[in-house]
Structure 1
């Protein structure tokens, strides 16, 4: 199949007020397309930026990052509009999704990059993003919105530790309809099971924190991209937290949803979620997730954070 070949039918559908995996079903892929798949706040934007830097070989991108690398399954932009914009791109395409690989119609000619992060760090990052999201958008994201929740004055969140405890071990009496711990593990676990496939690459957020230059080099090799050694240091610098935060208006996704795009790049370090919990809390969490996935995967996902939390390289 050549340019614009159709994907095969997806085996599983993921649908919410924010996204619909069925938007991928009729998407014409090209050989060499890069699909960046991760749960929100796991490093998606970071890896999108790395791909942009490798493809364009310059920090001076021709368009905002979200225009170069659209979120295809997002429900708020008409599917036909996203298809048309991607069809016009002449550079190697790199497309964002928050759908696990089992919800995508996989194609052997496409490169799939899955980014994983410690679930407690991801949960805390989501907490802070919710705090900086406009109330009318939080209202739209609810499965069953009510009139009161659309008012900015009703935007209240529990303390961060309480949020994390409910995230890890939800109380059915509070109306949490799914086992969040099991759902949290599914996306990276699905990729873990596919990691031997030549067109699937599984990245850990903490590896990007501790060795950004090495990870960029390895990713370039996997994608078959030759990097001009004269610009390599400049590209690595452009992918650091401080540099990306300084360009938040150009690089943050969905800027119309956020009260301040700079807040999207709030801190980005690893270990912050775990620091809010007691040792008893953490032990309860470990016991909860232990039967949900193989031990090697859990050890890989729940590794100790970098000594400095990731420093200036880390990105949320």
Structure 2
């Protein structure tokens, strides 16, 4: 991939990657928002350290490079000074990222409706009004879901996470899925088999631990443990970035959209999914590789 798509949004500027020199052993966690980003980052941090008590400090040690909030020169200098194996986070689709031949890219996806409703909770938990127009607190007219369906994959809409952006993420990753250094994960599969997820990531990263150590690492990455220690595991935890670190780990459940959408809204969602994905692609994006559900 020699030419990268441009993604510029209120938060995102993927040109910032131009200041990063990729190392062969770098690990990238690439996801749409609210699809298991922090969870996968934590899994990577635990595996790279082999320590269930490691201080993850994701926003500093495994930075979100695309976000405009931090000065890029500071982020680049910090990453360049790291002598250990590095990991970085991105909410930019794979077609907007620099693609190294040896660095590992872990792409995580979730049912788009679950990701959407999780994002609704997230925007209420950050003390910044970036997306009030898209996510009004008093949404009696269904504005939020209409914009979820109508929003584009690029430009301002990028960071508001419309369905088009999720689909762009999925298609861009799927095109590269046959590469040995690009792997696709699904939130539902991670939830169903966390030890299996750890084993898969460890193999991809060329890491190996005893069964006893792996069990401790897996326990550290359970939803209940991360929520109970949210000041440690939430992005910028303990620093006041969010109204509540614990609320960042809202529920960890799937299908939280049931009963919250009208038949017309669900029909519009179905039509868009079916227009852009094959039945097999849709089944995986919504439910992963486990037992398929129907609603």
* TM-score tier (shorter): 0.7 to 0.9
- In structure 2, what is the Cα distance between the partners aligned to 1:267 and 1:37? 22
Give yes or no for contact 2:30–2:105 (8 Å, CA) kept in 1: yes
- 1:49 maps to 2:24: no
Give yes or no for contact 2:36–2:109 (8 Å, CA) kept in 1: yes
RMSD: 2.9
Residue 25 of structure 1 aligns to a residue in which SS?
A: helix
Q: 1:85 to 1:291 in 2, by over 3 A?
A: same
- In structure 2, what is the Cα distance between the partners aligned to 1:214 and 1:304? 14
Shift of residue 9 of structure 1?
5.9
Residue 300 of structure 1 aligns to a residue in which SS?
A: helix
Q: 1:304 to 1:214 in 2, by over 3 A?
A: closer
- In structure 1, what is the Cα distance between the partners aligned to 2:81 and 2:181? 24
Structure-2 residue corresponding to 1:103: 96
TM-score of the superposed pair, with normalisation by structure 1: 0.81
TM-score of the superposed pair, with normalisation by structure 2: 0.87
- 1:158 maps to 2:124: no
Structure-2 residue corresponding to 1:296: 280
Shift of residue 26 of structure 1?
2.7
Shift of residue 177 of structure 1?
7.1
Give yes or no for contact 1:114–1:202 (8 Å, CA) kept in 2: yes
Counterparts of 1:1-316 in structure 2, within 5 Å, are: 10-134=3-127, 137-138=128-129, 141=130, 156-159=136-139, 162=142, 165-170=145-150, 180-255=162-237, 256-303=240-287
- In structure 1, what is the Cα distance between the partners aligned to 2:67 and 2:148? 26
Tell me the matched-pair count: 284
Give yes or no for contact 1:35–1:112 (8 Å, CA) kept in 2: yes
- In structure 2, what is the Cα distance between the partners aligned to 1:185 and 1:268? 22
- In structure 2, what is the Cα distance between the partners aligned to 1:20 and 1:168? 21
Q: 1:163 to 1:302 in 2, by over 3 A?
A: farther
Give yes or no for contact 1:36–1:95 (8 Å, CA) kept in 2: yes
Give yes or no for contact 1:270–1:305 (8 Å, CA) kept in 2: no
Structure 1, unmatched stretches of 5+, are: 1-7, 150-154, 310-316
Tell me which structure has the larger Cα radius of gyration. 1
Shift of residue 281 of structure 1?
3.6
